[in-house]
Amino acid sequence: MQEDMEGLAHKIVEFYERMSSWEHGVVKGSGLSPAQMHAIEILGMSDSCRMKELAEKLGVTTGSLTVMVDRLEKKGLLIRKPHESDRRSYMVVLTDKGREHYASHHKFHLKLTQDMAAVLTPEELEMFEVILDKVLPHI
């Protein structure tokens, strides 16, 4: 059992490293860091987000996020807007230019997903999705 866990741990680390390397390669040349692109991805999938929620999704402090949002705002990729009902809170929203970055990057994600799915049978693909749904909440 311990040997099985060691082997699985090794494969999970290798999967993470390959995904991280792939992400760095895709972001290279965009003028953005992977962390900045992740912020754009999150906003692209949700339209807008509170600063605090975005920080939690990225796994960073609100202070770190403020610096990142300042830089992305200067690049014209997003804007901060006061929350409609909570005066203490700000919403972060992609600009048109930010949505273009998201759409372009999302195409890379779709291609990666297609490439991964191509080596799986329909049953394996379905099981892979079930496993991800089961495991992701625990990470």
The pLDDT tens digits of the residues spanning 100-120 come to 999 999 999 999 999 999 999
Domains of the chain, by residue range, sit at: 2-138
Burial of 57 from C-beta contacts in 10 A (0-12 / 13-18 / 19+): middle
The pLDDT tens digits of the residues spanning 70-97 come to 999 999 999 999 888 888 888 999 999 9
- String of DSSP letters for 96-132: HHHHHHHHHHHHHHHHHHHHHHHTS-HHHHHHHHHHH
Tokens standing for residue 105: 């990057």
Looking at residue 71, what is its pLDDT?
96
Question: How far is 69 from 79, CA to CA, in rounded Å?
Answer: 8
Domain 2-138, CATH 3.10.20.80 — does that match?
A: no
Tell me the whole-structure pTM to 2 decimals: 0.82
Read off the pLDDT band of 135 (50, 70, 90).
very high
Looking at residue 48, what is its pLDDT?
86
Read off the pLDDT band of 47 (50, 70, 90).
confident
